[in-house]
Amino acid sequence: MDCNLYNLKKLDDIAQGNKEFIKDMVVTFVENVTNDIECIQSFKSVENWTAIAETAHKLASNFAYLGATSLHTLAVDIEKKVLMEHNLTGIVEKTDKLCHEGILLVGELKKDFCIKGEN
C-alpha cells in the first residue's frame, strides 16, 4: 500500500498490524486533510495568512503520521514563515503546492483503501 506520496510505517507501528485500525485512521485522515485543504483555500481567498498557518500546523501532524514527508515539511515551512518569521514571500505558491499535493495524497489514499466520497 505504500507509494511515493505516503508511507504508513509509523501508523503501522502504532497499530501493531491491526489493519482495521489503520483503515479507520486513514479514513479519518482523508476527511481531516480534505476539510483542512478546503479551509486553506478559503483563507487564501481572503488573505488570512494566520489562519492558513494554523491550519498548516494541523495538517503537519496528519502528514507526519501518513509518512508524507514532503507535505509535512511544506506545512511546517508555511507555519514557520507566517507565524515566526512574519515572512509572506512565496506563501501563495507554497500554499497552492500544499493544496495540490494534499489533494493528490487524498486521492491516492482513497484509491488504495477503497474509500468512497468526493474528490
pLDDT at position 5 over 50: yes
In a domain, 30, yes or no: yes
5 in a structural domain: no
Give the pLDDT confidence of 59-114 residue by residue, as tens digits: 999 999 999 999 999 999 999 999 999 999 999 999 999 999 999 999 999 999 99
Residue 117 is predicted with a pLDDT of 72
Q: How many residues does the chain have?
A: 119
- Residue 21 CA to chain centroid, in angstroms? 19
- Is residue 33 a part of any domain in this protein? yes
Domain count within the chain: 1
Residue 31 counted as domain residue: yes
Q: Does some domain include residue 90?
A: yes
In one letter, which amino acid is 46? V
Q: Specify whether the CB–CB gap between 64 and 76 falls below 8 A.
A: no
Q: Which domain holds residue 45?
A: 18-111
Q: Is residue 119 part of a domain?
A: no
pLDDT at position 118: 57
Domain membership flag for residue 93 = yes
Q: Each residue of 28-65: pLDDT tens digit?
A: 999 999 999 999 999 999 999 999 999 999 999 999 99
Phi, psi of 5 (to 5 degrees): -80, -25
Domain holding 29: CATH number? 1.20.120
Is 10 a domain residue? no
